């Protein structure tokens, strides 16, 4: 893992030096390139910029403890480095406190950076009641593409019977302790084999920022192409927050010198043979959809991904081709055959999202982690093994007592039976505990039976995860804790304990159906549902206004990035339309971006399904809250809304709208969707945002999407009305008694007639 990183950085430095020299002296190769593609702008940038970054320990720990003690002597924090940046060193600013009972003269802690010792710090017990500050320099030569800072406590506690393993010997860092870094920007090669780098780098743990350069006059094809890229980058970003920045250009010589509106960063540019930025006026036309990597004409430090086609429809083809043809790309450009690509891009099956647990086969834990080592822990009390379970949001778990997990694990056997345990949690709620015995293996003999509906006595028993605790995204934690004993308590144990969750452990949700109540904005905010049912968005339509603004397009791109992050697949078959283009019999789910588009939608298709919801909150007809400030009871301030309702075009389709009564305030909706904490509160059919308040309105007019068998559907809906079920049962019993009485009476009467 480390050798390629060194090679990459060396290559980056070489490229930077060569291009810097070329920019000053020129070269024959560069001159030849000028003949083929004439330079469009002479950059004035000479120096490679330096980026100053800062991470707090609270951010790096992700909620984990920042404490070390006798049972957990190490603390490790990690962060990544972009491949197009070279670290020039860093500084640790530590704020910490420690126990006043530490043994004098021998207590200390060591600091390692990527395995190298950078500092050993003696702990002065006389100053234990103070908060201490320390500045530690991290040498530039120790940095890599992935970096780890490791703290190790070497201390004993006075007066403790077993001070080697005492919780009394502790040291804890404050969450505002931080690391500050300086990174020199490098010039990246014009080569698509690195894609998606440098536009996105998986090693970068910061918020992922993407810049799009689009024409002033937009049509739906440009929005669709940008949406495909946004969903692709969102899928790559995964858990990272995503930010989108738009830049408009005009095909006009009068705007030749408006370089202050040009992105001073890596960016994606969309242009056609007839519509292009003035800076690219001398670029040759293309006959096929083409993507190429070029140098940013305003700042040669950064790169641009030029998405070019004869017309705007070709931009969609170019976007589809690049995000589905990553393997085997090489060189500065690639062209795509529109017909061949269209034949190959067929709609994918529902619920085939790569990040979701499949309902067609068991999914092993090794598929749910990046590296097998993520399933292993060493030490007496290490952090838990965590596995993320992304379940289909509409998984129907009614009358199912649990989600079956076939758990297998290994561990170093304790010398004698003690308090060594494996505890299992789902979303921080305890499920089950296992005693670690001398066998060294667990799972097969101690698993509990999953109450499956078929009640097969020969089925494999397994761990039961409570279904009522399962949302769209779940975290399954396996916490190994080992007891340590020594003949002499002051002798430090040798720390040879290891626990491993077997990668062949699996989650099996075969046989589960899909059925859920709508509207439910929680499912949309967390998993992009219902659009994410088809990860390529083949059953989704993005509706924009006739002249979409930057805020409307940005909101749409942010939402598509959210959906891509949930599914792990780009929206290659997304459709983008204006309201007038939407078929009246469409079965697709509708995503509306902006107030004008929502207004046009309601005018064309009516607002009965929306007003049914609003009426329960006294808001029926209150358009001023969502898109129009000119109603009779209009409000003077801004407001924005995330709203969902049943599509008037099909009973199983859903409309989700991102809207605001002032265009600039639409950004509040994207800020809401971007925040993992705020989306925890999103629910019902509407989230209403004003400058001083945020309300989430429950839904009172439910409809259901998904497929259930007739009898399951009937039993499910009847179970919600126990009184009605009791009355129907009583009527059925009375009817049955009357029928039996009539049959038996008739039989007795015929017997009497025969005997007489």
Render pLDDT for 506-554 as a digit per residue (tens, 0 to 9): 888 888 889 999 999 999 999 999 999 999 999 999 999 999 999 999 9
- The stretch 670-675 carries a mean pLDDT of 91
Per-residue pLDDT band at 38 (split at 50, 70, 90) = very low
Q: How far apart are CA 161 and CA 420, in angstroms?
A: 20
At residue 481, the pLDDT reads: 84
Per-residue pLDDT band at 72 (split at 50, 70, 90) = confident
Mean pLDDT of the chain, nearest integer = 82
Per-residue pLDDT tens over the stretch 328-384: 788 899 999 988 888 888 999 999 999 999 988 999 999 999 888 889 888 777 888
Closest to 198 measured CA to CA, from 92, 324, 86, 354:
86
Per-residue pLDDT band at 448 (split at 50, 70, 90) = very low
**3-class secondary structure per residue, 104-133:** CCCCEEEEEECCEEEEEEECCHHHCCCCEE
Q: How far apart are CA 280 and CA 616, in angstroms?
A: 55
At residue 615, the pLDDT reads: 82
Closest to 213 measured CA to CA, from 189, 248, 178:
248
At residue 716, the pLDDT reads: 79
3-class secondary structure, 669: helix
State the first-to-last Cα distance of the chain, in angstroms, to the nearest integer.
101
HSE (CB half, 13 Å, CA atoms) of 86? 21
CB atoms within 10 A of CB 603: 10
At residue 92, the pLDDT reads: 96
At residue 26, the pLDDT reads: 36
Contact at 8 Å (CB) between 169 and 99?
A: yes
% of the chain at pLDDT higher than 70:
83
Q: How far apart are CA 286 and CA 172, in angstroms?
A: 61
Per-residue pLDDT tens over the stretch 52-67: 999 999 999 887 889 9
At residue 13, the pLDDT reads: 38
Strands 540-544 and 513-518, how do they pair? unpaired
Strands 208-215 and 267-272, how do they pair? parallel
Contact at 8 Å (CB) between 182 and 91?
A: no
Residues 6+ away with beta carbon under 8 Å from 319 = 224, 225, 226, 228, 229, 307
The DSSP annotation for 333-393 comes to EEE--HHHHHHH-PPPPTT--TTSPPSSS-EEGGGSSSSGGGGEEESSBPPPEEEEEE--T
H or E element in which residue 658 lies:
strand 654-660
Closest to 218 measured CA to CA, from 275, 268, 277:
275
How many angstroms separate the Cα of 635 from the Cα of each of 193, 340, 689?
A: 53, 53, 13
Per-residue pLDDT band at 469 (split at 50, 70, 90) = low
At residue 484, the pLDDT reads: 64
- The stretch 304-324 carries a mean pLDDT of 95
At residue 73, the pLDDT reads: 84
At residue 577, the pLDDT reads: 96
Contact at 8 Å (CB) between 420 and 377?
A: no
Q: How far apart are CA 273 and CA 275, in angstroms?
A: 6
* 564 compared with 467, residue with greater pLDDT: 564
Contact at 8 Å (CB) between 563 and 532?
A: yes
Bridge-partner residues for 113, per DSSP? Answer: 116, 149
Residue 224 in this model has a pLDDT that exceeds 90: yes
Token readout for 635 is 């409000």
3-class secondary structure, 634: coil
CA quadruple 428, 431, 435, 439: dihedral positive or negative?
negative
Residue 471 in this model has a pLDDT that exceeds 60: yes
- The stretch 395-420 carries a mean pLDDT of 80
Token readout for 107 is 């207590």
Q: How far apart are CA 258 and CA 132, in angstroms?
A: 51
- The stretch 592-606 carries a mean pLDDT of 93
Beta-strand runs (E) in 456-548:
463-465, 473-481, 498-501, 506-507, 513-518, 540-544
CB atoms within 10 A of CB 369: 17
At residue 7, the pLDDT reads: 34
3-class secondary structure, 120: strand
Residue 255 in this model has a pLDDT that exceeds 60: no
At residue 310, the pLDDT reads: 95
């Amino acid at each position: 893992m480390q050798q390629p990183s060194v090679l990459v950085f060396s290559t980056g430095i070489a490229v930077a030096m060569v291009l810097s020299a070329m920019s000053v002296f020129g070269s024959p190769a560069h001159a030849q390139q000028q003949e083929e593609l004439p330079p469009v702008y002479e950059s004035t940038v000479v120096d490679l910029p330096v980026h100053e970054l800062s991470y707090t320990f609270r951010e790096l720990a992700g909620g984990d403890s920042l404490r070390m003690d006798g049972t957990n002597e190490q603390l490790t924090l990690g962060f990544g480095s972009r491949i197009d940046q070279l670290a020039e060193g860093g500084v640790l600013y530590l704020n910490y406190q420690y126990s006043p009972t530490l043994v004098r003269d021998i207590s200390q802690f060591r600091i390692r950076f990527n395995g190298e010792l950078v500092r050993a710090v003696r702990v002065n017990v006389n100053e234990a009641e103070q908060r201490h500050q320390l500045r530690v320099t991290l040498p530039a030569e120790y940095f890599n593409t992935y970096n780890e800072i490791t703290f190790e406590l070497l201390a004993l506690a006075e007066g403790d019977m077993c001070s080697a393993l005492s919780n009394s010997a502790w040291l804890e860092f404050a969450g505002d302790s931080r690391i500050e870094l300086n990174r020199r920007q490098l010039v990246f090669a014009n080569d698509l084999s690195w894609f998606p780098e440098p536009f996105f780098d998986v090693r970068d743990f910061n918020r992922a920022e993407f810049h799009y350069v689009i024409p002033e006059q937009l049509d739906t094809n440009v929005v669709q192409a940008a949406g495909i890229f946004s969903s692709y980058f969102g899928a790559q970003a995964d858990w990272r927050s995503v930010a989108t920045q738009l830049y408009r250009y005009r095909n006009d010589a009068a705007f030749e010198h408006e370089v202050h509106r040009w992105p001073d960063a890596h960016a994606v540019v969309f242009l056609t043979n007839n519509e292009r930025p003035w800076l690219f006026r001398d670029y040759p036309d293309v006959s096929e959809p083409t993507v190429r990597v070029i140098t940013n004409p305003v700042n040669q430090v950064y790169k641009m991904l030029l998405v070019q086609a004869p017309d705007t429809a070709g931009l969609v083809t170019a976007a589809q081709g690049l995000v589905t043809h990553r393997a085997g790309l090489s060189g500065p450009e690639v062209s795509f055959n529109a017909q061949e690509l269209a034949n190959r891009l067929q709609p994918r099956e529902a619920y085939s999202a790569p990040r979701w647990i499949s309902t067609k086969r068991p999914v092993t834990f090794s598929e749910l982690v990046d590296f097998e080592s993520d399933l292993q822990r060493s030490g007496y009390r290490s952090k838990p093994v965590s596995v993320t379970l992304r379940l289909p949001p509409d998984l129907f778990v009614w009358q199912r007592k649990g989600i079956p997990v076939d758990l297998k694990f290994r561990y170093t056997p304790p010398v004698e039976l003690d308090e060594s345990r494996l505890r299992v949690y789902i979303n921080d709620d305890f499920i089950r505990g296992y005693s670690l015995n001398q066998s060294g293996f667990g799972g097969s003999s101690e698993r509990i039976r999953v109450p499956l509906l078929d009640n097969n006595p020969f089925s494999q028993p397994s761990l039961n995860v409570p279904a009522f605790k399962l949302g769209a995204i779940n975290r399954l934690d396996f916490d190994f804790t080992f007891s340590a004993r020594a003949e002499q308590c002051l002798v430090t144990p040798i720390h040879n304990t290891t626990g491993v969750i077997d990668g062949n452990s699996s989650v099996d949700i075969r046989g589960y159906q899909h059925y859920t109540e709508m509207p439910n904005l929680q499912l949309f905010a967390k998993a992009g549902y219902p659009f994410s049912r088809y990860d390529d968005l083949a059953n989704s339509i993005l509706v924009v206004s006739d002249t979409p603004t930057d805020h409307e397009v940005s909101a749409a791109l942010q939402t598509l990035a959210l959906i891509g992050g949930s599914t792990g697949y780009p929206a290659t078959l997304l459709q983008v339309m204006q309201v007038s283009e939407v078929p009246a019999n469409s079965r697709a789910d509708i995503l509306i971006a902006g107030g004008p588009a929502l207004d046009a939608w309601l005018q064309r298709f009516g607002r009965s399904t929306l007003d049914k919801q609003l009426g329960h909150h006294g808001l029926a007809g209150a358009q001023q809250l969502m898109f129009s400030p000119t109603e009779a009871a209009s409000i003077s301030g801004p407001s924005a809304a995330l709203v969902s309702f049943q599509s008037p075009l099909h009973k199983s389709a859903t409309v989700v709208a991102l809207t605001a009564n002032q265009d600039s305030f639409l950004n509040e909706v994207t800020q809401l969707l971007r925040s993992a904490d705020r989306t925890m509160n999103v629910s019902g059919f509407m989230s209403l945002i004003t400058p001083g308040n945020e309300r989430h309105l429950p839904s009172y007019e439910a409809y259901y999407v998904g497929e259930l068998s007739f009898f399951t559907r009937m039993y499910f809906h009847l179970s919600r009305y126990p009184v009605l079920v009791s009355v129907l049962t009583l009527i059925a019993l009375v009817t049955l008694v009357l029928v039996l009485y009539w049959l038996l009476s008739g039989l007795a009467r015929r017997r009497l007639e025969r005997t007489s």
